[in-house]
Structure 1
Amino acid sequence: PPNLNVAYVGILCIKKTKKPKRLSLVSHVLSFSTPSFRIVMSFLLMQQQKPVIIIGGGLSGLSAAKRLKEAGVPIILLEGRDRLGGRAHTVDIAGNQASWVELGPFWIEDHLTNPAYHLLRDIGAQVHQHDIGPSTVRIYDRRSARWLGWTATLWAFIKLGWSFSRFGKLRRNTAAFKNLGERIDVVLGKRPKREHLYLFKIFSESLNGGSTYDTHQNQLSDDLWEFTNHDEKSQVLIAGGFRLLVELLRDSLSADEVMLNQTVSRISIQQDTSAQAPVKVETADGNSFEGSNVIVTVPLGVLKAGTITFDPPLPTSKQDVIERIGFGSVEKVVMTFKNAFWRRHSQKQDHFFSIPDPIGSHGSFFDVSMSSGTGPGSPTSPCLASVFGPPKAAWVAENPDAAVEEVLSELQMLFPDTYEPPVATAASNWTTSPFSGGCYPYTSVDTQPGDFIKFAEPTHDGRVLFAGDTCAVGVALGYVEGAMAAGERAADAVIATVTDSQSA
Structure 2
Amino acid sequence: MQTRLHSTLPEICVVGAGFAGLRCADILIQHGFKVTILEARDRIGGRAHQAMLLSGHLVDLGPNWIHGTDNNPILELAKTTKTAMHSWGDELNVFDEDGSQLKEGKDIGQVMWKIIAQAFKHSASNSATIDPNESLKDFFEQKILEEFPEQGDSQKKKILMQMAELWGTFVGSPVDRQSLKFFWLEECIDGENLFAAGTYKEILASIAAPALAGAKLELSTKVTHITSCSGVVSISTDTGRTLDFDEVVMTTPLGWLKRHKHVFEPPLPPRLCSAIDSIGYGSLDKVYLTFPRAFWLDSADGQEFTGFIQWLAPQYAKDMNPARWCQEVVDLSTLPGSCAHPTLLFYIYGEQSIAMANELASRMSKEERDEYLMEFFKPYVSRLPNYREDGKDCIPISCLATTWVLDDLAGNGSYSTLRTGLLEGDRDIEIMREGLPDRNVWFAGEHTAPFVALGTSTGAYWSGEAVGLRIADAYGKTAKDGGDVPEGKLGDGDVEKEVNLRVFADQGLEN
TM (norm. structure 1) is 0.79
Partner residue in 1 for 2:313: 356
5 Å-filtered alignment, 1:41-60, equals: 48-60=8-20
Does residue 140 of the first structure (1) align with residue 95 of the second (2)?
yes
CA contact (8 A) 1:51 1:74 kept: yes
Cα distance 1:479–1:129, how it changes in 2: closer, same or farther (>3 A)?
A: same
Q: Which whole-Å CA distance do the structure 1 matches of 2:372 and 2:466 have between them?
A: 39
Does residue 405 of the first structure (1) align with residue 371 of the second (2)?
no
Which of these residues, 443, 447, 468, is aligned with residue 418 of structure 2? 443
Partner residue in 2 for 1:319: 273
Partner residue in 1 for 2:111: 159
Q: Which whole-Å CA distance do the structure 2 matches of 1:148 and 1:284 have between them?
A: 55
For 1:391, what is the secondary structure of its paired residue?
helix
Q: How far apart are residue 465 of structure 1 and its match?
A: 0.4
Which of these residues, 138, 146, 153, is aligned with residue 182 of structure 1? 138
- Identity value in percent: 23
Q: Which whole-Å CA distance do the structure 2 matches of 1:322 and 1:295 have between them?
A: 16
Query: Can you list the C-alpha shifts for 1:355-374, whole angstroms capped at 9, x where unaligned?
Result: 12378554111113455xxx
Which of these residues, 186, 196, 215, is aligned with residue 160 of structure 2? 196
Q: Which residue type is aligned with residue 187 of structure 1?
A: K
Q: Which whole-Å CA distance do the structure 2 matches of 1:497 and 1:124 have between them?
A: 37
Where relative contact order (Cα < 8 A, 6+ residues apart) is larger, the structure is: 2
Partner residue in 2 for 1:212: 175
Which of these residues, 331, 344, 347, is aligned with residue 285 of structure 2? 331
Q: How far apart are residue 460 of structure 1 and its match?
A: 5.5
Partner residue in 2 for 1:38: none
Q: How far apart are residue 424 of structure 1 and its match?
A: 2.1
Cα distance 1:354–1:245, how it changes in 2: closer, same or farther (>3 A)?
A: same
CA contact (8 A) 2:23 2:465 kept: yes
Q: How far apart are residue 291 of structure 1 and its match?
A: 1.2
5 Å-filtered alignment, 1:293-312, equals: 293-306=247-260, 309-312=263-266
Q: Which whole-Å CA distance do the structure 2 matches of 1:349 and 1:342 have between them?
A: 8
Task: Count matched residues.
Answer: 434
Q: Which residue type is aligned with residue 92 of structure 2?
A: V
5 Å-filtered alignment, 1:364-383, equals: 364-369=328-333, 378=338, 380-383=340-343
Q: Which residue type is aligned with residue 342 of structure 1?
A: W
CA contact (8 A) 1:202 1:361 kept: no
For 1:246, what is the secondary structure of its paired residue?
helix
Partner residue in 2 for 1:61: 21
Which of these residues, 460, 463, 469, is aligned with residue 440 of structure 2? 463
Q: Which whole-Å CA distance do the structure 2 matches of 1:336 and 1:169 have between them?
A: 40
Q: How far apart are residue 214 of structure 1 and its match?
A: 2.5
For 1:342, what is the secondary structure of its paired residue?
helix
Partner residue in 2 for 1:281: 235
Q: How far apart are residue 489 of structure 1 and its match?
A: 0.4
Query: Can you list the C-alpha shifts for 1:412-431, whole angstroms capped at 9, x where unaligned?
Result: 43243255222322111111
Does residue 428 of the first structure (1) align with residue 385 of the second (2)?
no
Does residue 495 of the first structure (1) align with residue 469 of the second (2)?
no
Q: How far apart are residue 435 of structure 1 and its match?
A: 0.7
CA contact (8 A) 2:85 2:198 kept: no
Unmatched 5+ residue regions in structure 1? Answer: 1-23, 28-44
CA contact (8 A) 1:266 1:311 kept: yes
Which of these residues, 45, 53, 61, is aligned with residue 103 of structure 1? 61
Deviates more, 1:322-331 or 1:87-96: 87-96
For 2:394, what is the secondary structure of its paired residue?
coil
Q: Which residue type is aligned with residue 431 of structure 1?
A: V
CA contact (8 A) 1:331 1:388 kept: yes
For 1:129, what is the secondary structure of its paired residue?
coil
CA contact (8 A) 1:85 1:243 kept: no
For 1:252, what is the secondary structure of its paired residue?
helix
For 1:313, what is the secondary structure of its paired residue?
coil
Deviates more, 1:279-288 or 1:411-420: 411-420
Cα distance 1:411–1:153, how it changes in 2: closer, same or farther (>3 A)?
A: closer
Q: How far apart are residue 114 of structure 1 and its match?
A: 1.6
Cα distance 1:408–1:162, how it changes in 2: closer, same or farther (>3 A)?
A: closer
CA contact (8 A) 1:91 1:101 kept: yes
TM (norm. structure 2) is 0.78
Q: Which whole-Å CA distance do the structure 1 matches of 2:350 and 2:339 have between them?
A: 35
How large is the RMSD of aligned CA atoms in angstroms?
Answer: 2.8
Q: How far apart are residue 293 of structure 1 and its match?
A: 0.6
Q: Which whole-Å CA distance do the structure 2 matches of 1:235 and 1:52 have between them?
A: 35
Query: Can you list the C-alpha shifts for 1:257-303, whole angstroms capped at 9, x where unaligned?
Result: 21111121111113x23xxxx11111223233221111111110001
Which of these residues, 228, 244, 251, is aligned with residue 269 of structure 1? 228
Q: Which residue type is aligned with residue 296 of structure 1?
A: M
Q: Which residue type is aligned with residue 253 of structure 2?
A: P
Cα distance 1:327–1:366, how it changes in 2: closer, same or farther (>3 A)?
A: same
Q: How far apart are residue 403 of structure 1 and its match?
A: 5.7
Q: How far apart are residue 108 of structure 1 and its match?
A: 0.9
Q: Which whole-Å CA distance do the structure 2 matches of 1:357 and 1:238 have between them?
A: 30
Q: Which residue type is aligned with residue 179 of structure 1?
A: S
For 2:296, what is the secondary structure of its paired residue?
coil
For 1:127, what is the secondary structure of its paired residue?
coil
Cα distance 1:165–1:237, how it changes in 2: closer, same or farther (>3 A)?
A: closer
Q: How far apart are residue 168 of structure 1 and its match?
A: 4.7
Q: Which residue type is aligned with residue 158 of structure 1?
A: Q
Q: How far apart are residue 378 of structure 1 and its match?
A: 4.2
Q: Which whole-Å CA distance do the structure 2 matches of 1:83 and 1:369 have between them?
A: 30
